[in-house]
Amino acid sequence: MSGLLNGLIVLFAVSGLFFMLVAAIGVYRMPDVYTRMHAATKASTIGISGIAMAALFYFADTATTTRVILIILFFFLTAPVGAHALASAAYVINAPLWPQTRRFDLNKARILCPIRGGAASQQLATTAIELARQGQGALTFLHVINHNGSGAAAEPTQATDTLNDLRTLGQKALVVAQEQAQAQGITAQTEIRLGDLEQAIVQCVQEVDATLVVLGFPERDQATQQKMAEDEFWALAKAIQTQTGVQVQAIR
């Protein structure tokens, strides 16, 4: 037997043994059944392949090679199937997860939907509710009172009155949207904010940890106004996206 062949045998056997050892330590030490399965399945597949390859180079004839390839192929085919069956069994019997397991379900969206109120908002709310239903996600409606205090009224009391009116209107719009969501079986949260629209949305996105912002695309009667509103809209959408990194979706 040549030195190279001996070296290959030792290399494969040692690496195979290493992985088998890792798999066994994983089965022994991992905190819950799913992590144990992950150790047992993957590491031991590689481990058995290494040891079988060592046997291949040790005997180095056709009959053995066939058997070794069969063993390796067999493990690569059956280990995932067996692990899948065991995992689904563990799931059925509610095997406890490791307490520090962090669930991160990509399809569970947290949608933030700023609404103005009125007919256009109803359409927007319908779309947002549909999105939340599809993604089995949470939905938050936000109304921002875009007040610029000095210009609205001369006297402070009058300004407060206007603000209160706006707040009532906003709350009404939010309640309408919430009821609309309730009718679809979605429990929506509502938020009402004072101040700059963009800042309020960005702040709210961070507070509810939103994954998607749904914005209503503006519709104006006159073409010039439409152009302006659209420009404003896209600037807002871009600002939200760059500041929070959250996807913004325009709804017509």
Identified binder of another protein from the candidate list 8, 11, 15, 24, rule CB under 8 A: 24
Q: Which is nearer to another protein, 96 or 149 (CB)?
A: 96
Q: Is 193 in the site for another protein (CB under 8 A)?
A: no
Query: Which residues are within 8 A (CB) of 72 and not within 5 positions of it... i.e. 6 or more apart?
Result: 48, 49, 52, 53
Q: Which is nearer to another protein, 64 or 127 (CB)?
A: 64
Closest CB 36 distance from another protein, rounded Å:
5
Identified binder of another protein from the candidate list 11, 27, 97, 208, rule CB under 8 A: 27
Residue holding tokens 């005997």? 59
- What number of chain residues touch another protein (CB under 8 A)? 47
| String of DSSP letters for 62-79 | HHHHHHHHHHHHHHHHHH
What residues from 40 to 59 belong to the interface with another protein (CB under 8 A)?
40, 44, 47-48, 51-52, 54-55, 58-59
Phi, psi of 51 (to 5 degrees): -65, -40
Q: Is 20 in the site for another protein (CB under 8 A)?
A: yes
Q: Which is nearer to another protein, 31 or 195 (CB)?
A: 31
In sequence order, what E strands does 26-104 have? none
CB 141 within 8 A of CB 170: no
Q: Which is nearer to another protein, 83 or 163 (CB)?
A: 83
Both tokens of 231, joined, read 């420009």
Identified binder of another protein from the candidate list 67, 116, 133, 167, rule CB under 8 A: 67
Closest CB 103 distance from another protein, rounded Å:
19
CA distance 164 to 173: 14
What angle do helix axes 62-92 and 44-59 make, rounded to 10 degrees?
170
104: left (phi over 0), alpha (psi -120 to 50) or beta: beta
Other CB atoms within a 10 A radius of the CB of residue 68 amount to 20
Name the residues that contact another protein, by CB under 8 A. Answer: 6, 9-10, 13, 16-17, 20-21, 23-25, 27-28, 33, 36-37, 40, 44, 47-48, 51-52, 54-55, 58-59, 61, 63-64, 67-68, 70-71, 74-75, 78, 81-82, 85-86, 88-90, 92-93, 95-96
